[in-house]
Structure 1
Amino acid sequence: MNTKLYVLLAAGVLALSACKNEAADAAAADAAAATEQAADAAATAADAAGDAAAATADAAAAATTDAAAAAGDAAAAAGDAAAAATTDAAAAAGDAAAAATDAAKAATADAAGAVKEGAAKVEEAAKH
């Protein structure tokens, strides 16, 4: 996706280089800023996905530790605790995955909007 953004930015810069006026220069700067915002939004989405994955791993590790301690106390209690811990870990993993998906969707929508806005500015500048 970053490659597409850079290709769009490069195309905009090349298109604007043919027009040597202040409006075109301003539009190119706006397009570059919009592209940078889109890249930042994509990076934020990637960070959110990484954080969600780390939280899922931590939740699974904590649930496993709790299940092992319960197993040491009694076999019957361990079975119940393991089932509960597994359910909690699965729920936490599902919640984290949903949060990561939502963050990725939002960041993608933001990035797409920024790219669309940048492209519109480049197109508008090219018309003048």
Structure 2
Amino acid sequence: MRMGFGVVAAIAVLSLAACESAADKQAEVKADAIEDTTEMKADSLEQQAAAADAAGAPATADALDAKADAVEKAGDAKADAVEQAAGKKD
């Protein structure tokens, strides 16, 4: 009888673990998408900065580089928040 309860409990634990890992995977996919999007935006700003620098506008280039850094940091923070929120649901 104890063996039967142990098996049922093990199956229940494995089922819950499977559900949690699916939620974690979904959060990871969402976080990766956020990171990819913000990375593309930051790359675009960096390209604009390079063009501005080549055109002789170093102040504009510096401002664009700073904005690119800010966009990337914000994206990383948002992605981390998504992953942490999923971890709290587990």
TM-score bracket for the superposition, by shorter chain length? 0.7 to 0.9
Relative to the length of structure 1, the TM-score reads 0.56
Q: Which runs of 5+ in 1 are unaligned?
A: 1-15, 112-128
- Retained in 2: the 8 A contact 1:63–1:89? yes
Bigger relative contact order (CA 8 A; separation at least 6): 1
RMSD value, Cα? 2.6
Q: Determine whether 1:67 maps to 2:49.
A: yes
Moved over 3 A (4+): 27-33
Q: 1:65 to 1:101 in 2, by over 3 A?
A: same
Partner of 1:89: 68
Offset, 1:29: 6.0
Relative to the length of structure 2, the TM-score reads 0.74
Greater Cα offset, 98-107 or 47-56: 47-56
Q: 1:17 to 1:58 in 2, by over 3 A?
A: farther
Cα distance in 2 for residues equivalent to 1:17 and 1:70: 74
SS of aligned partner of 1:47: helix
State percent identity of aligned pairs.
Answer: 22
Partner of 1:122: none
